[in-house]
Amino acid sequence: MLRLFRSRELNKKINDGCKRPYDLGKRSETMDRNRAALLNAAREELEANGLANFTVEALARKAGLSRQTAHNLFGTKGGILEALFDDLAKKGGLTRMPEIMQESSAKRMLAEFVRVFTDFWASDRVLIRRIHGIAVIDPELGASVQARNERRKRAARRVVERLGTGNDAEKTRLAATLYAMTSFEFFDALFNEDIQKEAAWKQLWQVVQRALALDPGDDVGG
Amino acid sequence: MLRLFRSRELNKKINDGCKRPYDLGKRSETMDRNRAALLNAAREELEANGLANFTVEALARKAGLSRQTAHNLFGTKGGILEALFDDLAKKGGLTRMPEIMQESSAKRMLAEFVRVFTDFWASDRVLIRRIHGIAVIDPELGASVQARNERRKRAARRVVERLGTGNDAEKTRLAATLYAMTSFEFFDALFNEDIQKEAAWKQLWQVVQRALALDPGDDVGG
DNA sequence: CAAACGAATGGCAGACTGTAAATGAGTGCG
DNA sequence: CGCACTCATTTACAGTCTGCCATTCGTTTG
């Protein structure tokens, strides 16, 4: 698992520089379509059955491609999963994060921080749950998830520092608490048939305020 | 994966009742040793490298056994993992739970509830993290973990009902919150190089009190 | 048109699983 | 003691899956 492919890539390098130029043009469009189709099949399969029958063959068949084409597009099975992770991160849209970290009001920053992750985690709970599970089991494969967690951890620390309550040790505790409360797993545990997305967010936001000992009366909207 | 073995078991059934009795005696001791050795190897391998190189062959070699013996003892690879899960649950010792649920003081019950899971989650963080990851990825394999989560969820509900605050909808929210806060993942996210077990428990206990809107001044020991 | 390239097909070695049969070795019963 | 019973080991085999390669086919580019 997780070795990169070479044959095609190597051939390209070898042939490089001695042939006439060739622009992929239309070809790359169908490649993108195939890529998307396979990724979609991977997402559905992962959501439906986890990794139990998650084989390259099955995904390719589902996407109407051959197994070899899947290998050409993604290299290895691990490559498919990594592409899926990246795809999720892109679509999940944590693009608002830089903007949020610029927020002038500390409490509004906190509220937006909680909100953006609520939106992300709720966007595809089952898929994210599976991906986080894989990240925990296969550290190599889960490196990008770990990295995103680290970024969230640092962001939580900065939010707490902007709130400016307590000494350094207390800030460490509050940052860890905020980090834990904005984790996917906490949101996922909060979510159930009685508590759907907005109710979960409401409860989460209340709990965060209480945990950080903020005045809950000061409404920041949302 | 996860099919039960038959050859040996079937033969036993077939031979049942027509042979003279045979007490395993000393043999069972070495079987137990082999069992323990393989489980130990499985634990170490799972902690060290996740499922990356988690093969029956490697585990058997590590335990000084043959692959076939591993199959005789546990049936399938899934059987090894399930045995590992059960072993963890046994050693983790949630045996105090029934006693805790009998506690007369509601707040003491809550404190003990938080404490017992802190102890459990801290007992072997890496292993539990991996096991919960597997449970999320392979629903069939993770059935026992799911079942334990369900029990914790019901227990959380009962604790909240004993506290007796709020109407039914609020109890539902508080129970979900307590469930989420006593999850392994929440504890694991709280835990870091600066916040070790006791500090994590202290923070967790404070946050639970605030989340459930209890009077933190009323000390219950611990 | 010819060169270039992706897609599909079939094939291959290697790894792993689950199973089976045969053999060896330890243990209890008569 | 010797036989019956059982477990462990060895060897073997079929089945699945991965990663890779060579080849062919069809389409696109220049």
Cα A207 from Cα A110, distance rounded (Å):
13
Structure-token match 């489980």, residue found:
B39
The three state secondary structure string of B152-215 is: HHHHHHHHHHHHCCCCHHHHHHHHHHHHHHCCHHHHHHHCCCCCCHHHHHHHHHHHHHHHCCCC
Whether the predicted pLDDT of A103 surpasses 60? yes
In chain A, where the domains are located = 7-89, 93-211
Tell if A26 CB is < 7 Å from nucleic strand D: yes
Which letter, b or e, does each residue of B47-76 get, where b requires 16 or more Cβ atoms within 10 Å of its Cβ?
eebbbeebebeebbeebebeeebbbbbbbb
Q: What is the pLDDT of residue A221?
A: 40
Region A144-169: mean pLDDT is 94
Per-residue pLDDT of chain B (222 residues; tens, 9 = 90+): 322 222 334 334 334 444 555 555 666 788 999 999 999 999 999 999 999 999 999 999 999 999 999 999 999 999 999 999 999 988 877 889 999 999 999 999 999 999 999 999 999 999 999 999 999 999 889 999 999 999 999 999 999 999 998 889 999 999 999 999 999 999 999 999 999 999 999 999 999 999 998 755 444 443
- Looking at domain A93-211, its CATH architecture is Orthogonal Bundle (1.10)
- The CATH topology of domain B7-89 is Arc Repressor Mutant, subunit A (1.10.10)
Gap from A8 CA to D29 C1', Å: 20
Q: What is the pLDDT of residue B170?
A: 93
Cα A33 from Cα A13, distance rounded (Å):
25
A91 near A148, Cβ under 8 Å?
no
Q: What is the pLDDT of residue A218?
A: 42
Segment A52-82, tens digit of pLDDT: 999 999 999 999 999 999 999 999 999 999 9
Structure-token match 């899960």, residue found:
B85
Handedness of CA A208, A212, A215, A221 (dihedral sign): negative
Q: What is the pLDDT of residue B92?
A: 76
Q: What is the pLDDT of residue B89?
A: 85
Segment A30-39, tens digit of pLDDT: 999 999 999 9
Tokens at B200, concatenated:
């994590």
Segment A161-216, tens digit of pLDDT: 999 988 999 999 999 999 999 999 999 999 999 999 999 999 999 999 999 987 55
Q: What is the pLDDT of residue A214?
A: 75
For A76: left if phi > 0, alpha if psi spans -120 to 50, otherwise beta; the answer is beta
**Minimum-distance CB partner of B203 among A140, A177, A210:** A177
Q: What is the pLDDT of residue B24?
A: 58
B93 near B65, Cβ under 8 Å?
no
Q: What is the pLDDT of residue B166?
A: 85
Region A95-117: mean pLDDT is 96
**Strand C, CB < 7 A, residues 9-38 of A:** 12, 15, 19-20, 22, 24, 27, 30-31, 34
Gap from A53 CA to C23 C1', Å: 38
Closest residue, by C-alpha, to the C1' of D18: A1
Handedness of CA A106, A111, A116, A117 (dihedral sign): positive
Whole-model pTM: value is 0.89
Q: What separation in angstroms does the CA of B84 have from each of A22, B130, B142? A: 56, 11, 12
Gap from B133 CA to C7 C1', Å: 37
Interface residue A167 vs chain B (CB under 8 A) = no
Q: What is the pLDDT of residue A57?
A: 97
